[in-house]
Structure 1
Amino acid sequence: MTPQGEPRPLPITALGGLATGVRDCVADLARIEVPGLAVLTVQVAPDARTASWQVHERRGPVGGGTLTPARPCSPDALPPALLAVLLQLARTARYRHLLLALPPGMAPDLVALDVAEGHVRGQALADHLHIDTVAAAVDLSRLEDDLSSGDRLLDRGLAIGPTDRRTVAETAARHLASARTVVTSNAHDPDPATSARAVALARHLSAYRSLTHICHDPLTGALWTPNLPALIGRNHFDPDDVRDRHGPLPAPRQPRAPEFGVRTTYWSSRRPMHPQRLHDALARICPDVIRGHGHLWLANRPRSIHRWESAGEHLTIQTAGTWLPEHDDKAWQAASAERRTFAALLWHPYYGERRCELTFTGIDLDAPSLHERLNSCLLTDAELALGLDHWRLPDDPFAEALGIEAA
């Protein structure tokens, strides 16, 4: 209870990830071993037009239902009727913690942000609910294959609706990037080296604060985890961090040290990239990279920030916003406080806020060669001296993907 006698907001752990078996296992272990914890499991139909939910307590299921939202279900948010279910569970004051087990195609950090800022019939959910942490369930025996896969979620029956075109690799990478707790299992992997490399991949691709592993006894078949508290009471969720990560210019994380062959390298430049040379070099940049992300600016598009997202065989370069103008107070105030701070610290009298920053992760990645390929795509001194009016190309290789830059 709060000092005023009102019930405390119900803490929620949002658990996602492609490894549904690991997710269900940790949910069962948590509801049995953690007093006062309930599990709310959400499932979405293949057409995304119906969703079902079920509540489990220690003794088993205690409620559930199926609903048909007005719009097809989204990967980024729960239907309003499910938000109402969350609010109802909180108002009962029956539970001390709720584990929200999400479908593998949902983004748990965006769902958590929607819950943290959502309303139901004018009632702010934050008055009754509190997001504790966001977690991802990972099968160590499949992680490397998933991150290198060219399959789409539709191919594996994991998509949120028939129009969901996301790939398995990009979804697995984003789950790890959003997780503050990673739950792992290697019950189906007899090779310790593979598991060790998969754990190293999880370390490099996520900014997690804690890790819990589901242990398997091959003699008895029993499962247990020595670190269930990593899922509960950590208060790792930061809405500003989620907004920044999905915003136009997220702050890059410092790479971890290489381990078990997994290496992450960070590359940056204040110069713009020559669009044709970059386009021609993509085939030489991507093959050894499991995951790449960051932002860049193209010489012929000086106003636009372009996000780079690659995972496995998937690569997306898309416009994510515009660079801050030097004398536009309205634009600066609209930016996040963190972005304004970085812009002020890194401001260049010629380039302004503009810069390229990319982070790449791979196994046995040749970082010097990769940096050399990226550097070869930058404008040369001679090209830079020509000035902005000479950087535009008659044939833009990214015109179809990026469209025409707004005036």
Structure 2
Amino acid sequence: MPTPVALVAGLHGGARAAVVERLLRRHPGAVAIHHDLRAIGAGRVERVVRDVSGVLDRAEVHLAHGCVTCTVREDLLPELLRRAPTAALLVVDLWDSVEPRPVAEALAHEEAADLLRLTCVHTALDAGLMPLDICRGERLADLGQAAAAGDQRYLAEVLARQIEYATSISLHDGDEEDAELSAAVLGHLAPHTPIVAEPATTGPAVCVHELAERVDPATAQLPGEAQTGEITTVVWHRLRPLHPDRLFEAIDELVTTSVRSRGRFWLANRHERMLAWDAVAGVVSVEDAGPWLAALPEAAWEMTAPARRAAAALDWNPIIGDRVQHLVFTGPDLDRERIFALLDACLIDQGDALPGAEEWARHDDPFAPVLDLEETA
């Protein structure tokens, strides 16, 4: 039977340490592996292996390709495989700002399947800090939490990914009011993810393909409309395409009226392409998420994942296929009418060219610097 592996992530080091310590104490023979990135600015990564009695091994790791994620993956997997025969449980204690998805996908590699079984991806949060941190617009580098030189990610961006990818979440520290507020926020950001006292370490292996489908734009399990006290989630769902200029002009107001927003959308001048919207704490990312299923020949549909076809079927329209506007906004005291009015005003109208028409090819697209750069990268 493969050795179970618990992946523990989280920006809040104290909360994460509490989970790791509890797992080591409750599972005799458990071993935790942690890559310390405090000296990453000097190009040093330290691997620390410990059990409930203390440190078992400490070694400096070469920074592979100048990439922290590559370093953690390339050093972590061999170390886990080496420890697996004698460990009752392997705990991967990720550094604060390391995102769990690439590590989880590396652990699911075929060569490790006989010895390792990833049983959970757990995110530990400080109940007193999480509701504040998800609203913070600072970069990790400015806060001393960068995972590498040149790390340009934002704190709230990383926190959102750690929350939304996890199979379970735990809350630590803070008082009862902090815990209630944090639970309410999580109920909007990750409504399908259980909040538990400690992660489950038994059972079948986690399917990383299913975890990816939960967060990837084409198949994401987006939150539905909800109201919890002052926290509101609203869903904007339309069938007409958006005018690129109007949407571009509305972006600043849209991202500052909510704490978190995400989803998929359709621009009239990019008729064949699904676009992904991802915004948190006032910072927005717009990316090309590939073709709409309706833009592919039917023969290619069988080559797409079942979850992709299922998601398309839910939005299917006999005229436009799966092309849709599906954006979700979460924040305190959201002005639903204002958000909807802003977005509705961005839709094309009778005076605009039809989506996919030749006129759009001559259009000066404000999204081109980002989206066209992705296509040529």
> What TM-score does the superposition give when structure 1 sets the normalisation length?
0.84
* 2:73 counterpart residue number: 79
* 1:70 counterpart residue number: 64
1:268 and 2:237 aligned: yes
Alignment partner of 1:151: what SS? coil
* 1:144 counterpart residue number: 131
Structure 1 runs not aligned, ≥5 long: 1-7, 119-123, 213-226
* 1:353 counterpart residue number: 322
* 2:341 counterpart residue number: 372
Shift of 1:265: 1.5
* 1:173 counterpart residue number: 160
* 2:16 counterpart residue number: 23
How far, CA to CA, are the matches of 1:15 and 1:386 in structure 2? Answer: 45
CA contact (8 A) 1:137 1:182 kept: yes
The alignment-based identity, stated in percent, is 28
1:108 and 2:100 aligned: yes
C-alpha change, 1:136 and 1:405, in structure 2 (3 Å) is: closer
Q: 1:124-177 CA deviation, whole Å, 9 max, x = no partner?
A: 111110110111111121112211111111112222211221100111111110
CA contact (8 A) 1:292 1:361 kept: yes
Instruction: State the AA in 1 paired with 2:143.
Output: R
Q: Which 4+ stretches in 1 moved above 6 angstroms?
A: 404-407
How far, CA to CA, are the matches of 2:332 and 2:342 in structure 1? Answer: 18
* 2:170 counterpart residue number: 183
CA contact (8 A) 2:225 2:235 kept: no
Question: Over the residues paired in the alignment, what is the CA RMSD in angstroms?
Answer: 2.6
Alignment partner of 2:64: what SS? coil
Instruction: State the AA in 2 paired with 1:348.
Output: N
Alignment partner of 2:57: what SS? strand
Q: 1:319 aligns with which of 288, 294, 318?
A: 288
How far, CA to CA, are the matches of 1:276 and 1:284 in structure 2? Answer: 14
Q: How many pairs does the alignment contain?
A: 375
Q: 2:4 aligns with which of 4, 11, 18?
A: 11
* 1:55 counterpart residue number: 49
Q: How does 1:5-404 map to 2 (within 5 A)?
A: 8-44=1-37, 45-47=39-41, 49-75=43-69, 78-90=72-84, 92=85, 94-117=86-109, 124-187=111-174, 192-207=176-191, 209-212=193-196, 227-228=197-198, 230-233=199-202, 235=204, 237-245=206-214, 247-255=216-224, 257-325=226-294, 328-329=297-298, 331-383=300-352, 388-392=357-361, 394-403=363-372
C-alpha change, 1:234 and 1:291, in structure 2 (3 Å) is: farther
How far, CA to CA, are the matches of 1:308 and 1:324 in structure 2? Answer: 18
CA contact (8 A) 1:248 1:321 kept: no
Alignment partner of 2:50: what SS? strand
How far, CA to CA, are the matches of 1:260 and 1:48 in structure 2? Answer: 46
CA contact (8 A) 2:294 2:320 kept: no
Alignment partner of 2:206: what SS? coil
CA contact (8 A) 2:260 2:329 kept: yes
How far, CA to CA, are the matches of 1:306 and 1:386 in structure 2? Answer: 15
CA contact (8 A) 1:38 1:99 kept: yes
How far, CA to CA, are the matches of 1:174 and 1:405 in structure 2? Answer: 21
How far, CA to CA, are the matches of 2:239 and 2:42 in structure 1? Answer: 44
